[in-house]
Homo-oligomer: A and B are copies of this chain.
Amino acid sequence: MKVGIVGLGLMGGSFALALKKEFKKRDERLKIVGLDHNMQHSLEALELNIVDKITDDIHDLLNLDLILLAIPVNAILKTLPALKDASQNTTIIDFGSTKEKIVNAIPKEIRPNFIAAHPMTGTEKSGPTAADRKLYRGKVIVLCDTEENDKEHLFFAKDLLRDIGMKIIKMDAKEHDRHAAFISHMPHAVSYALANSVLKQEQKREILALAGGGFKDMSRIAKSTPNMWIDIFAQNRENLLNATECFIQELQQFQEYVKQEDWESVREWILNANRLHEII
């Protein structure tokens, strides 16, 4: 199988390593061509044996069996027009964290080939050196608007994703973005806001002294670099603003209870939050 991976960071690099492991197990041949506008990343990916070859021309990928787009969501939008001449036999998967704008921008020539996916995994690290062949194992991947896909491309993609250990869930792209705003995008904004408010008020000594597991967990994703997240916030702007507003209202409700020393309501409010325990 010949695979082109656009974007050799954490997501693309980890996908390459997972495929390599799987094909070695099957004793089948696999060739991975990488493309990344960051030359340093390209060279690192070659050195680390994540890819077998590097190209800087996306046309070199258009006749491969599979193309993976593992780049920030605005970069996906910019890349889509160049993919319209891809072979009808080429399956294309994108790993963007927003889906509605992407599915609306897929050129009609490749709509049957194009699997719009969002893998629910990642870390705060980035670049090929962060790649981890186990990143996808046991994790959920959401496939959106699959009714637009050709069955063969869809089955091929699903088999491959399952082979590297992922659990597949289907969702409407528009719904996906609304849900992702609440469960993923807004929490990232909250983590950044938490880090910023603490950095503004506190000194290094006190942060080091008082940061227990709770604060460390809550601020971990505040270490994520802006590149990917600005694109996501921009593409999912309306849903994000709505989710952030709901969250702020919830916290203001808490403030009101505390101001009024209404501890019985605080208890109810906490007990309600504890219900999350029953789900995850």
Contact = CB atoms under 8 A, between A and B. Distances in A.
A273 B200 CA distance: 10
A121 interface: yes
A121 to B, nearest CB: 6
Contacts of A171: 209
Interface stretch (A3-11, A86-94, A101-109, A246-254): A246-254
A211 to B, nearest CB: 5
Given A198-B182, A272-B199, A218 B216 contact: no
Contacts of A189: 251, 254
A77 to B, nearest CB: 15
Given A243-B197, A270-B230, A202 B182 contact: yes
Given A209-B169, A209-B171, A196 B250 contact: yes
Contacts of A142: 209-210
Interface residues of A, number: 89
A267 B227 CA distance: 8
Interface in A171-186: 171, 179-180, 182-184, 186
Interface SS of chain A: helix
How many protomers of this protein does the assembly include? 2
A248 B243 CA distance: 14
Contacts of A206: 179, 183
A193 B254 contact: yes
Listed residue (A122, A219, A273) with the most chain B CB atoms within 10 angstroms of its CB:
A273
15 contacts: A184-B214, A187-B219, A190-B218, A195-B273, A200-B250, A207-B276, A216-B280, A226-B267, A226-B270, A230-B270, A233-B266, A234-B261, A241-B258, A241-B259, A244-B255
**Pairs of residues from A and B, 4 with the lowest C-beta to C-beta distance, nearest first:** A195-B273, A226-B270, A193-B251, A183-B210
